[in-house]
Structure 1
Amino acid sequence: MTVYYVNSATGSNSNTGTSEDSPFASFWAVENLKLQPGDSVLLAAGSVFNDQLDLKYSGTVDAPITIGSYGIGDAPVIHSPGDGIHSLYTSNIVIENIKITDTGGAAIYGGYVSNWTINNVEVDHTGLAGKAGSISIRTGSNITIENSTINDVNGDGMWIEKINGVTLLNNTVTNAHGTTADAVQINDSSNIVISGNYLDQTGAVTPKGVLTLIRPVDAVIEGNTIIGGGFGISAQAGTNIAIQDNDISGYGGYSWSYAIGLGDSGDTRNYDISGNYIHDGVWGVAVSSAGTTTYVREGIDISGNLFDDLTQAALKVDRPASGSFHDNFIASDVTPYSISPSIIAAGTFPVSDNTIIEEGPTTLASADGLAAADASVSLVSDTGLTSHNDLKLAADKIAADKAGAHHDNPIWETGVSDETLLLRHFGKAAAEKHGLTLGNGDHGVTIEAADLAGPENGSEISHHEIAPQPLHHSEADPLIVSMLQHGVLH
């Protein structure tokens, strides 16, 4: 296991490359090596490389080949008229702690690859020659992209196809430009986890959408913030798909724009769409299609979502489908559903037990107040709820900028942010479905169920203490209390 050092400013290709004092100067020297499992190629902090790095050799599961950095300072930068890093038929590769900018092609391209991890890589202003996918992985297995940022690229931010095992964690993708561009597109792939990402297309030039999955199998999309584009999540023709606890907003530009859409690329089976905060857009969940081809759409369960500030209905079903729309929370100024009469007559997509939330009866509590010993919050019962056992406490929106809040996570020593926290409560079913949830570690909200045994419908429940303690509830008078994991502290 050898470590090779590359420094474009002080290195020489006649050096051994095996120490910081004797580094190579360019990728040419690296590409003439036969890298072995466990070898590392480290680029000097502050170095700039104006060439494509070709990876030709594979590591092993226990000893991957690593491309990384060394030294103190700015991350090393790769510029290239082609791709930044290009590889075919390799496996067990780690790419980390570098920056790739101003490339003609993809920042990173991998074809027929497996067991790759891309971690803490910054990508900016790539795809200048029109090549799709700033990070483009085609055909293979077990690809992880995490803690990385992609911004101001031409074409899709990520393009992934025919991969068994895709994991996208805690990445930021902003401004993927182009009429066919999405922040992330995944085609014909399986065993997919997309979690904790921030995907924002509000500044993109003529974007198509934000997150697209075509013919996915066994996918979980959870806890992401998704903003802008013509649509939020297009999960077409999938099987066994969970779309849960995402914050989806700001999408529009078309009469058909939706937060979550199933589309018309093939048969669709077994979707769990739950716990999402869908707001400031056009349609909510659309079971629809642009064409007239008949596909199977079955097992679509939509529950426990919050719909607010939509110009069209929370639910649209205009193609034959089976499923249910139940126990959701819908702002009073949003049309609950638009379902074709033939589908209503068939009874295949029932609507039940949804709660209409009247706008206005909320109380704002400042973070300074939350941090104080005598902090309190006033809870106001919605008229659609039948008892305090139907309450679910949710923090759904604040006045601060969500983009900075999501990623900078401005939580101070008190465990709360310095911004304003807006609290609402909703119905029992979603809380039971999602369980007792806290979004920020050990800091939580303490509410005794016995304290809430006051007035029932429509009346104000008196102030109750909020402290940075674990959430708990009374066994004698059980209260299902849940805080939406995402969008809690901003």
Structure 2
Amino acid sequence: MTIYYVNSTTGSDGNNGTNQTSAFATLSKVESLKLKPGDSVLLAKGSVFNEQFDIKYSGTESAPIKIGSYGTGSTPVIHSNGDGIHSLYASNIVIENLKISNIGGAGIYGGSVTNWTVRNVDIAKTGMSESAGAVTFRSSTNVTVESSKISDVKGDGFWIEKVAGVKLLNNTVTSANGSTADAVQMNDSSNILIKGNHLDQTDASSPKGVIALVRPTNAVVEDNVLTGGGFGISAQAGKTVAIRDNDISGFHGYSWSFAVGLGDQGNARDYDISGNHIHDGAWGVAVSGPIGASYTRTNIKVHDNTFDDLSQAALKVDRPASGSFYNNTIESGTTATSISPSITDAHTFTVSGNHTVANVETTLASADTKVAAATTTTEVAADAAVVAVHDNLKIFTDNGEAHRGNLLENDTSDNDTLVLRRFGDESVGKHGLTLTGDYGVIHVDREGNYAYTLDETKLPSHDGHVSESFSYGVDDGNSHHSDGDTLTVYIHMDGLVS
């Protein structure tokens, strides 16, 4: 098990590469080696490599080959006219703590690979030809991408095709651009977990959406924040799909825009859609399909979701389907269902136990309080922890005064102490912090109080709505436990602009 060091500034390909003072200079030198299981290739922080890195050899499950970084300073960067990191047939690979940017193809490309983990990798400005996803895996097995960031890329954020065993965990994708781009495009894959990600297509030039699952089998999409795009989750044909506990908003632009859609491109069977907060868009859950197609849609359960601020209905069923819509919460002013009369008469899609509330935010806050109280009662012996929950500010009218709220009201800490430490990319000092956003100015303090003042001169000159998001971080007062989430500001411009 050998560690090879690569330093683009002080290294030389005439060195042996086995310690920091005799580092290689190029990635091509590493490619000339026959890497063995357990070997590591570490790139010096501050280094810039203008070349594609090909991984040709495999590790083992107990001794993977690792690609990472060492030293102090800025994260090492890979630039390339081709892919950033490229591999065919290699197995048991770990890639971590790198930056890949200004790439002609994919940031990371793996074809027919097995047991890959990508973590804490920053990928930006890839796919100049729009022909590749920032992270692309094809015909592979057991791929995990976690705690990584993808931003301002042409093409999809993730392109996953024919992969058995996919985990996308706690990643951020912002602005996957292009005429056919989604934040996540996943085709003909199985055993899928998409969890804890923040996927934001609000400012993307793509007319498409956030997550496109094409013919998935055994998929779970949970605890994600999905914003913007023409749709939230399109899982049009698949089997055994669970979509739960996500915050889905800002999906609009088309008469058909939906938070969750299925049944349009093939048979859909055994879907469980539950616990989601679906808001600020057009349709909620759309069970639909092309006229004349003989697709089947069976055992579709839509329950325990919250719907508000939708221009269309919470549920649309306009093609033959079997399932149920029950125990959902719908804010007054949002239409509950739009179901074709023939389906209603056939009694194949039942509606029961749903309830209407005047204010969803109040209901959600009450539910969070009950959950926190129950957790405290049943888990007294658990370690102290901090849990941050996504926040929303909705602006329907404006008189020039600040719109106020508190980021910490729906967050929890086992020691009952919460402090706002970070907002955006900056620390929150004792006098608070003021940031200028896309459409206004926001001030926050350590207690979580915020005041957002809208700047109407920055709004587009049309009706509709826009949004912007601010990330934030909290801890328990002594920094032993921390968490983070996002405040999203929704601005309904009807009546605000002339």
Mapping for residues 376-395 of structure 1, pairs under 5 Å: none
The DSSP-based 3-state class of the residue aligned with 2:174 is: strand
3-state DSSP class of the match of 1:37? coil
Deviations 1:259-297 (A, max 9, x none): 000042211100110000000000000001245312110
Distance in 2 of aligned mates of 1:20 and 1:396: 43
* CA drift at 1:73: 1.0
Deviation at 1:34, TM superposition (A): 0.2
TM-score with structure 1 setting the length = 0.77
Paired residue secondary structure (1:75) = coil
Partner in structure 2 of residue 39 of structure 1: 39
CA contact (8 A) 2:130 2:178 kept: no
Q: Is the 8 A contact 1:95 1:119 kept in 2?
A: yes
Tell me, in whole angstroms, the C-alpha distance in 1 between the residues paired with 2:298 and 2:159: 28
CA 1:54/1:280 → structure 2, altered by over 3 Å: closer, same or farther? same
| 1:110 aligned residue | 110
- The equivalent of 1:461 in structure 2 is none
Asked if 1:414 corresponds to 2:417, the answer is yes
**CA 1:268–1:75 in 2, change beyond 3 Å: closer, same or farther?**
same
Quote the residue 1:448 is aligned against.
none
Aligned 8 A contact 1:245 1:486 in 2: no
Structure with bigger strand share is 2
Residue identity in the other structure for 1:239 = K
CA distance in 1, matches of 2:205, 2:276: 27
> Is the Cα–Cα contact under 8 Å of residues 182 and 206 in structure 2 kept in the other structure?
no
Residue number in structure 1 paired with 2:256: 256
CA gap of 1:299–1:48, structure 2 versus 1, over 3 A, is same
> Are residues 1:86 and 2:86 paired?
yes
1:122-137 matches, within 5 Å, as 122-137=122-137
Q: Secondary structure at the match of 1:238?
A: strand
- For 1:361-400, list aligned pairs within 5 A: 362=362, 397-399=391-393
TM-fit CA distance, 1:487: 7.9
Counterpart residue number, 1:4? 4
Gapped runs of 5+ residues in structure 1? 371-394, 422-439, 444-484
Preserved contact between residue 12 and residue 23 of structure 2 (Cα < 8 Å): yes
Residue 256 of structure 1 deviates from its aligned partner by: 0.1
Give the letter aligned to residue 393 of structure 2: A
Q: Within the alignment, does 1:171 sit opposite 2:163 as a pair?
A: no
Structure 2 SS opposite 1:336? strand
Correspondence 1:175-186 to 2 at 5 A: 175-186=175-186
Deviations 1:67-126 (A, max 9, x none): 100001111000000000000001000000000000000000000001000000000111
Cα distance in 2 between the residues matched to 1:148 and 1:95: 11
Residues 361, 226 of structure 1: alpha-carbon distance in 2 compared, 3 angstrom cutoff:
closer
Pair 1:310 & 2:304 matched:
no
Offset of 1:131 from its aligned partner?
A: 2.3
Tell me the TM-score normalized by structure 2: 0.75
- Deviation, 1:27, is 1.0
Matches within 5 A, 1:300-449: 300-359=300-359, 362=362, 397-399=391-393, 414-415=417-418, 418-419=447-448
2: CA distance, partners of 1:486 / 1:322? 36
- Mapped partners of 1:413, 1:28: distance in 2: 54
Q: Which moved more, 1:292-301 or 1:62-71?
A: 292-301
The answer to which of 37-46 and 205-214 deviates more is: 205-214
Letter in 2 for 1:119: R
1:139 maps to what in 2? 139
Alpha-carbon shift at residue 299 of structure 1 (Å): 0.5
Secondary structure of 1:260's counterpart equals strand
> What is the identity, as a one-letter code, of the residue corresponding to 1:279?
H
Q: CA 1:248 to 1:351, structure 2 compared with 1: closer, same or farther past 3 Å?
A: same
Cα gap change, 1:173 to 1:109, in 2 (>3 Å):
same
Offset at 1:419?
3.3
Q: 1:109 to 1:442 in 2, by over 3 A?
A: closer
Quick one: distance in 2 between partners of 1:222 and 1:248? Answer: 11
Which whole-Å CA distance do the structure 1 matches of 2:331 and 2:263 have between them? Answer: 25
Aligned length: 399
CA contact (8 A) 2:391 2:488 kept: no
CA distance in 2, matches of 1:313, 1:160: 32
Q: Which has the higher contact order (CA 8 A, sep 6+)?
A: 1
Matched with 1:479 is: none
Q: Do the aligned residues in 1 keep the contact of 2:87 with 2:110 (CA within 8 Å)?
A: yes
CA distance in 1 between partners of 2:364 and 2:347 (Å): 42
Question: How far is 1:414 from its partner?
Answer: 1.2
Q: What's the secondary structure of 2:22's corresponding residue?
A: coil
Please list, as runs of the form range in 1=range in 2, the aligned pairs for 1:261-272 lying within 5 A after superposition.
Answer: 261-272=261-272
- Structure 1 CA distance for aligned equivalents of residues 209 and 357 of structure 2: 29
Q: What residue in structure 2 maps to residue 429 of structure 1?
A: none
Conserved 8 A contact 1:247-1:486: no
The offset of 1:358, in angstroms, is 1.4
Q: List per-residue Cα deviations over 1:292-332 (Å, max 9, x = no partner).
A: 31211000000000000000000000010000000000011
Q: Distance in 2 between matches of 1:397 and 1:116?
A: 34
Flag the 1:284–1:42 CA change in 2: closer, same or farther, 3 A: same
Q: 1:288 to 1:21 in 2, by over 3 A?
A: same
**Contact kept in structure 2, 1:274 and 1:304, CA below 8 Å:** yes
User: Given the superposition, is the C-alpha separation of residues 280 and 25 from structure 1 closer, same or farther in structure 2, using an over 3 Å criterion?
Assistant: same
- By how many angstroms is 1:486 displaced? 8.5
Task: Give, in whole Å, the separation in 2 of the partners of 1:442 and 1:18.
Answer: 40
CA distance in 2: counterparts of 1:13 and 1:180, whole angstroms: 42
Deviation at 1:441, TM superposition (A): 12
Partner of 1:221: 221
Change (3 A) 1:48 1:214: same
1:450 paired residue number: none
Contact 2:158–2:184 (CA<8 Å) still a contact in 1?
yes
Cα displacement string for residues 456-480 of structure 1 (whole angstroms, at most 9, x for unaligned residues)? xxxxxxxxxxxxxxxxxxxxxxxxx
User: Residues of 2 paired with 1:188 and 1:118: CA distance?
Assistant: 21
Aligned match of 2:197:
197
Q: Distance in 2 between matches of 1:179 and 1:360?
A: 35
Counterparts of 2:487 and 2:353 in 1: how far apart (Å)?
25
Letter in 1 for 2:320: P
8 A Cα contact 1:223 1:486, kept in partner: no
AA aligned to 1:414 is T
Q: What percent of counterpart residues are identical?
A: 60
